[in-house]
A = this chain, B = another copy of it.
Amino acid sequence: MKKELKSFYKDKNILITGGLGFIGSNLAIKLVEFGSKVTVMDSLIPDFGGNFFNIAPVKDQLIVNISDMRDQHSIERLVEGKNIIFNLSGQVSHEDGMEDPLVDLQINAVSQVYLLEALRKINPSAKVIYAGTRQIYGKIEKTPVDETHLVRPTDTNGISKFAGEWYHILYNQVYGIPTCSLRLTNTFGPRQLMKHSRQGFIPYFIRLALDNQEIRIFGDGNQIRDMMFVDDAVNAFLLAGENIRSNGNYYNLGGIKPISLLDFANLIVKIVDKGSIKLVPFPKEREKIDIGSYIGDYSKINKELGWSPKVTIEEGLRKTVSYYLENKKYYW
């Protein structure tokens, strides 16, 4: 963590959309620690990831505002007077997006225009860091994937998140609003939704192991993924929010070391010391939207903002498992 980050964020007025969710709440806790004046906004849609317990350590030191990004009125009031907006609200489940593409599009694109229009009218100097996703690339042509890879989404979520991201870039180009997008890869850590498997396999694998159940991996388990611990993601948001060089830019994030799904599951089972692993064939509908192996090339953000991932998968997993062992009742 850069030392000057703390002094930069001290007393800043911050809005975190999706702030009761996984990354948003970890960011909120860090910002409270830095002395920021934090408002978290969350719709608490069941199954989306928002969880009041996520902000328990700082609940008396920030403002919680329950509202949905699709509410065009509340967002106009919430952006007033903010210096920095960490925009992490979103529908992030690939399966849920395929099931209801209209809700996915309303939240991930239409609502983003509400936010940006509100900023254009009311607070155009606020910095906005958008939580983008590597899902927009779709089927990967070659790894590692840098920002010049073609965008060919293979699910509704990839389409809507690309639109949401480019509205941010556009509002920088045309209206000068200082926006930036971070294209997240698989992120894990404390405060992630653990109730179902539709927001990614990592938390669900951890849950299954903790429940001493069988982890099922689709295919041969050789699919490669980047894994990023949440503290590294939080650090990327903080660096992007502080640095004007990020304005109008988009960056891939990435993990320290790519790992196969099978090796990752084995590591979980080893650390938790429970659970088992089974390889099963791909469900047909799931195979169609699978992107294959993904490794992110994060050299652009490394060069421009000085970010790199710091936490090893094993260290991150130990912290994660320990958190859920202690707080299981709030997540199961």
Q: Which of B110, B151, B289 contacts A174 (CB 8 A)?
A: B289
A234 at the interface (CB under 8 A from B): no
Of chain B, the residue at the smallest CB distance from A176 is B288
Is the Cβ of A113 less than 8 Å from the Cβ of B101?
yes
Q: Which of B105, B153, B163, B288 contacts A159 (CB 8 A)?
A: B163
A173 at the interface (CB under 8 A from B): yes
Residues in B with CB closer than 8 Å to A150 are 148, 150-151
Q: How far is the CB of A113 from chain B (nearest CB, A)?
A: 5
Q: How far is the CB of A158 from chain B (nearest CB, A)?
A: 8
Residues in B with CB closer than 8 Å to A98 are 174
A264 to B322, CA, bound (A): 70
Q: How far is the CB of A159 from chain B (nearest CB, A)?
A: 5
Residues in B with CB closer than 8 Å to A152 are 166, 169
Q: How far is the CB of A172 from chain B (nearest CB, A)?
A: 11
> Oligomeric state, in number of copies?
2
Listed from nearest, the 7 A-B pairs whose CB atoms lie closest are A163-B163, A159-B166, A174-B288, A101-B113, A159-B163, A151-B151, A102-B113
Residues in B with CB closer than 8 Å to A148 are 150
A106 to B163, CA, bound (A): 13
A156 at the interface (CB under 8 A from B): yes
Interface size counted on chain A using CB atoms at 8 A? 32
Residues in B with CB closer than 8 Å to A105 are 109-110, 113, 163
Q: A110-B110, A159-B166 known; A173 and B288 CB under 8 Å? A: yes
Binary CB contact string for chain A from 78 to 107 against chain B (1 if under 8 A, 0 otherwise) = 000000000000000000001001100110
Binary CB contact string for chain A from 155 to 191 against chain B (1 if under 8 A, 0 otherwise) = 1101110110011011001100000000000000000
**A binding-site residues for B, Cβ under 8 Å:** 98, 101-102, 105-106, 109-110, 113-114, 117, 148, 150-156, 158-160, 162-163, 166-167, 169-170, 173-174, 285, 288-289
Of chain B, the residue at the smallest CB distance from A101 is B113
Q: A110-B102, A163-B162 known; A173 and B156 CB under 8 Å? A: no
Q: How far is the CB of A9 from chain B (nearest CB, A)?
A: 31
Is the Cβ of B155 less than 8 Å from the Cβ of A159?
no
Q: How far is the CB of A187 from chain B (nearest CB, A)?
A: 24
Residues in B with CB closer than 8 Å to A166 are 152-153, 158-159, 162
Residues in B with CB closer than 8 Å to A106 are 110
- Select the residue from A102, A156, A158, A170 with max chain B CB neighbours within 10 A: A170
Residues in B with CB closer than 8 Å to A289 are 174
Provide 6 A-B residue pairs closer than 8 Å at the C-beta atoms, listed in order of the A residue: A102-B110, A102-B113, A105-B109, A105-B110, A105-B113, A162-B166
A162 to B285, CA, bound (A): 24
Is the Cβ of A167 less than 8 Å from the Cβ of B113?
no
Is the Cβ of B151 less than 8 Å from the Cβ of A170?
no
Q: Which of B102, B110, B153, B285 contacts A170 (CB 8 A)?
A: B153
